[in-house]
Chains A and B, each alone.
Chain A
Amino acid sequence: SQQGEEDPQALSIQEGENATMNCSYKTSINNLQWYRQNSGRGLVHLILIRSNEREKHSGRLRVTLDTSKKSSSLLITASRAADTASYFCATDGVETSGSRLTFGEGTQLTVNP
């Protein structure tokens, strides 16, 4: 069953703007990860945030985690056309602890030049 639900399903912005994507999940987690997928390609890991962390940065990426609300957000600042891709959150549930990740449905981001 799908654990993560991304919102919005699709997002279209202009270059230079910020993009925010949200992810909600249902069960307790060890960590939450974000991945990126270019069309027709494999996924690439972006960032991992542990359940005891609230915010994490990596370059132009900022991830927040609110375990009380079972939600996370991914912020991409100063977006570029090359950021156009689908973005997925993936959760490592406490019960399955590291043996598998459960992916959400993804947000399709389009950055217009």
Chain B
Amino acid sequence: DGGITQSPKYLFRKEGQNVTLSCEQNLNHDAMYWYRQDPGQGLRLIYYSQIVNDFQKGDIAEGYSVSREKKESFPLTVTSAQKNPTAFYLCASSPSGGPENTIYFGEGSWLTVV
């Protein structure tokens, strides 16, 4: 089935560790996104990529890094520089970055600092 797969669903990070969240899509979409959602809040854009080997910072990029080496993959690394990483992370993709861009979401990953 076509879709967006995020893994792991639940992840625990110790203080000072980097962790990487995986996001894979088989929808042949050009654009991919990472959002952060805190409990009871809306989504905030971390990074986005409109094409392979290119990505841009969103509103809250500090403490995060991404890569886009393949069209179908857009992993997010939460670095130790991110002081409050506990949140729900959502990966998304869209056919292109053009007008009427509708976004398709994965099921999300919960990250908790222990």
Contact B90 A43 (CB under 8 A): yes
How many whole Å from A106's CB to the nearest CB in chain B? 5
Contacts of A113 in B (CB 8 A): none
Q: A98 vs B45: C-alpha distance in the bound complex, in angstroms?
A: 14
Q: Does A59 contact B (CB under 8 A)?
A: no
Contact A97 B45 (CB under 8 A): no
Nearest chain-A residue to B97 (Cβ)?
Answer: A99
Contact A50 B100 (CB under 8 A): yes
Q: A92 vs B108: C-alpha distance in the bound complex, in angstroms?
A: 22
Known: A103-B42, A106-B42. A98 touches B105 (CB 8 A): no
Contacts of A2 in B (CB 8 A): 42, 44
Q: A102 vs B99: C-alpha distance in the bound complex, in angstroms?
A: 14
Contact B59 A1 (CB under 8 A): yes
Q: Which residues of B contact A (CB under 8 A)?
A: 4, 31, 33, 35, 40-45, 48, 50, 56, 58-59, 88, 90, 92, 96-108, 110
